Structure 1
Amino acid sequence: MRKSIASYLTLALTICILLYSSFSSDETIDLGKYSTEGLVLDYTVGVDANINDDALALNDATESFAPYLGKSFVGFKEALAFKESGGDYFSVNTFGYLGKYQFGASTLKLIGIHNPSKFLKNPALQEKAFIANAARNKWILRRDIKNFVGKRINGVVVTESGILAAAHLAGPGSVKKYLRSYGLDNFTDGYGTTVQYYMKRFSGYDTSFVKPDRKAKAI
């Protein structure tokens, strides 16, 4: 019985010495020879076969990936918002223009908004304001859209989305002057941005979603 106990103790001591030697060795283990080739791997996240590489577009400004919105109406308003404020609902510029789309207080009044402070804190209202203002501008500029879309002014093809974007920047009156003067009367805002620049930058989007409405209101 004593010999058996002594044998087990000797075996256990030998194993401990071998283990200690292997862990205390300075020899680096080469993991390069190990591979998962041929193994069946059980991932917790499946591959989505519906993902299309073309569904992602690189945003040059942020160097990050974002959903590709193309020339859709959502693409139009988000591109315009990014130019205006970087897409920040709570932005106020040095001239006091407010929100994601940089509205002035006088324009807000025209579409039924009389409290700029509450407007700035309400993203949903800002989205409604953008639609209402675009609808109002489209009604005011309906004849100019009919007469000038497809024509080229100062080397830029006039499109409906370009007209609506320029109207957002400078107001529909300034856009009328630009079109009817064939580009000679080119409004410039406080930061040096022109009607012609917006005509070119935001051309070719699908703005058919916006319906002309003389009395369009956000509220």
Structure 2
Amino acid sequence: MINKVKNFILPFSICVLIALALYPDSSLDSNLYSTEGLDLNYNISEELAMASEADAANTTIFTPHLGKSFEGFKEALAFKESRGDYFTVNTLGYLGKYQFGAETLKLIGIYNPNQFLYNPELQEKAFIANAERNKWILRKDIKRFEGKVIGGIKVTESGILAAAHLAGPGSVKKYLRSYGSSNFADAYGSTVKHYMRKFSGYDTSVLEPNKKAKARI
């Protein structure tokens, strides 16, 4: 008798559970679950939409490893100057991703700072032109001092060019020829010595010394 009861109760219980799942309590107020008036216009990128659940669970911010390449040099310097923001202007009026001053822009053929600020392509050209001009001005100092240690820092071409971007080639000449005793600092406290250390060892061989370098697009 007990076995018959068990055999009856088990199938009956399963049927009850299935019925509850398929036919929820009709006494529930559907208005509580209405989506009327809610903003359901959610948009995600195609890339995320195509991602699998496993991909989504393991999503990380991708940052290319540029190492000591020339691109690495440019982007590291840009991050230090402006965090890579093309459209920023600092409190002293320096412009863009690489924080150019109006007078420096004139030296490489740019006379409209506002146009420069809103033109990323021109900013990239300006960086190259300015670096090539500085490399020409400092060519003898690069040859003379590269590989030497000044103020505890090994002098490299990329360090020299980064410091020239900060302080101008004249200040870098003074630093090198005084063996570190003349150490220019800008209004925010960044020094030639700091840039020489921070940006040492990058490959800047792609830059050609050019006295008349201009930024053109």
**CA separation of 1:18 and 1:150: change in aligned 2, threshold 3 A:** closer
Report what 2:164 is aligned to: 167
* Cα RMSD for the two superposed structures: 2.3
What amino acid does structure 2 have at the position aligned with 1:20? A
Shift in alpha-carbon separation, 1:23–1:124, aligned structure 2, 3 A? same
Match of 1:178 in 2: 175
> Paired residue for 1:56?
none
Q: In the aligned structure 1, how far is the partner of 2:15 from the partner of 2:51?
A: 41
Displacement, 1:20? 1.1
What are the within-5 Å matches in structure 2 for residues 64-83 of structure 1? 64-83=61-80
Change (3 A) 1:24 1:65: same
1:167 to 1:24, Cα distance in 2 relative to 1, 3 A: same
Structure 1 residue 84 displacement after superposition: 0.1
Q: Which residue is equivalent to 1:19?
A: 18
Unaligned runs of 5+ in 2: 1-13, 25-49, 53-59
For 1:198 and 1:17, locate their aligned partners in 2 and report how far apart those are by CA, in whole Å: 76
1:45, distance to aligned residue in structure 2 (A): 7.4
- 1:155–1:122 Cα change, 3 Å: same
Q: For residues 138-166 of structure 1, give each alpha carbon's deviation from its aligned partner in whole angstroms, at most 9, with x where no partner exists.
A: 00000000000000001000000000000
Identity of aligned residues (%): 72
Aligned to 2:81, what secondary structure does the other structure show? helix
Aligned partner of 1:213 in structure 2 is 210
Q: Of 116, 121, 133, which residue of structure 2 is paired with 1:136?
A: 133
> Which residue of structure 1 lines up, in the alignment, with residue 145 of structure 2?
148
Q: Secondary structure at the match of 1:66?
A: coil
Q: Distance in 2 between matches of 1:88 and 1:45?
A: 29
* TM-score normalised by L of structure 2: 0.75
Distance of aligned partners of 1:20 and 1:215 in 2 relative to their CA distance in 1, 3 Å threshold: same
Q: Residue in 2 aligned with 1:125?
A: 122
The count of aligned residue pairs is 172
User: Taking structure 1 as reference, are residues 211 and 65 closer, same or farther at Cα in structure 2, changes over 3 Å only?
Assistant: same
Moved over 4 A (4+): 15-18, 21-25
In structure 1, how many angstroms separate the alpha carbons of the residues matched to 2:93 and 2:188?
A: 13
* Aligned-pair CA distance for 1:101: 0.1
Question: Partners in 1 of 2:72 and 2:144 — Cα distance?
Answer: 25
Secondary structure, aligned partner of 1:128: helix
Seen in structure 2, the aligned counterparts of structure 1 residues 100 and 19 have a Cα distance that, compared at 3 Å, is same
CA distance in 2, matches of 1:218, 1:76: 19
Structure 1 match to 2:201: 204
Distance change >3 Å, CA 209–CA 16, structure 1 → 2: same
Return the TM-score normalized by structure 1: 0.74
Structure 1: how far apart are the matches of 2:100 and 2:181? 26
1:165 alignment partner AA = A
Aligned AA (1:215) = K
Shift, 1:19, TM fit:
2.5
1:22 CA drift (Å): 5.7
Q: Which residue of structure 1 aligns with residue 85 of structure 2?
A: 88
Residue segments in structure 1 that go unaligned for 5+ positions in a row: 1-14, 26-43, 47-62
Aligned match of 2:46: none
Name the residue aligned to 1:111: 108
* CA distance in structure 2 between the partners assigned to 1:169 and 1:76 by the alignment: 14
